[in-house]
Chains A and B, each alone.
Chain A
């Protein structure tokens, strides 16, 4: 073994960073060997090793490499193509949604046309049901409306009567009255 290749003395204590000539620990020797292998010519691209990542960052800051034209072309193609793809998705989705809506409305119309008419439905179509009409609240108060007092009672009576009208109207429209 040549003197220049002789490994340095090994220390059992961790390196504290101050004494640069301190003997290396076993972990340091392993890490140093690993970094050496990564920096060798022909080695694979600097990978996930922490020192290798930092080495790549140092190189990138000091001497950033140009992007290969072919590589740039692929990135550009992908970015511009994704825009078209997005448009296609929108168009396809819109078309499918429109067709579905049209089919649904067609089915609804056909179903209504084919459905057997019940007597109530026919009657409801031929003669509109009698509905409660808007009218004065005076008839709700045959005893007369006092000038002062009793407001809450009157509002309750009106609300109750109108709710009943609304319910009756709905039943009439649905043909269940």
Chain B
């Protein structure tokens, strides 16, 4: 506990003197930050980050960045590398624009999420990938996210759950469009990552036939999500 307090002190109580290595402080703060994090703490950090305090901004991004990655960027960009790149680009934009952020009572997460969605839209437009979300879907989400900025009832946890549910719903809608046998193959082998033999047995086919069924299932899914994205197939 003593070390944890020292970390907090080094991390965001003494911003200018650097009496304690910042990143070491960050390492120690992480496990206890969830317990100590309050709206007042967050607002104080935002004020300092707006004033150019990099330590405060680092703490905010350390808290909310992983959430952005897991619930917003990775499900929508469909690829770890792309999601990491988007997270880095998001941070760069946040660093540039944090001074323009206005605290409205709902925390900084809705604003960070809005920035991340706009970054993701740009990335999707720049490079076509096999993903469930098209740039237009993300553009709509980004526009809708502006309403969250003034919704005082929303918490970051609620928004995170909503984002995760939205991604799963999009996937389920796409799976409902293909043959149920194909959908089962994808659910069991791709999503649940069950062994190939087991899935083949469940579907009542040979493993060799299952390989073909799974490949056809993926092709069918690709066709199913194409209408959701009018740009698919142009590149």
* Residues in chain A within 8 A of chain B (CB atoms): 3-8, 15, 17, 20, 24, 28-29, 31-33, 35-36, 39-40, 45, 50-51, 53-67, 69, 71-73, 75-80, 82-84
Instruction: Tell me if A61 and B171 are in contact (CB < 8 A).
Output: yes
Bound-state CA distance A56–B216 (Å) is 16
Instruction: Tell me if A39 and B196 are in contact (CB < 8 A).
Output: yes
Shortest distance between the CB of B196 and any CB in chain A (Å): 7
Bound-state CA distance A31–B177 (Å) is 22
Instruction: Tell me if A57 and B129 are in contact (CB < 8 A).
Output: yes
Task: Tell me if B57 counts as interface (CB < 8 A to partner A).
Answer: yes
Instruction: Tell me if A4 and B129 are in contact (CB < 8 A).
Output: no
- What string of 1s and 0s marks CB contacts (under 8 Å) between B65-89 and chain A? 1100111001101111001100110
Shortest distance between the CB of B186 and any CB in chain A (Å): 6
- What string of 1s and 0s marks CB contacts (under 8 Å) between B42-68 and chain A? 000000000000100110011001100
Instruction: Tell me if A56 and B79 are in contact (CB < 8 A).
Output: yes
Report A-chain residues with C-beta under 8 Å of the C-beta of B131: 53-54, 57
Bound-state CA distance A38–B67 (Å) is 28
* Residues in chain B within 8 A of chain A (CB atoms): 23, 30, 54, 57-58, 61-62, 65-66, 69-71, 74-75, 77-80, 83-84, 87-88, 91-92, 95, 129-132, 164, 167-168, 170-171, 179, 181-182, 186, 189-191, 193, 196-197, 200, 206-209, 211-216, 218-223
Nearest-CB residue, chain A, relative to B91: A79
Bound-state CA distance A76–B196 (Å) is 39
Shortest distance between the CB of B166 and any CB in chain A (Å): 9
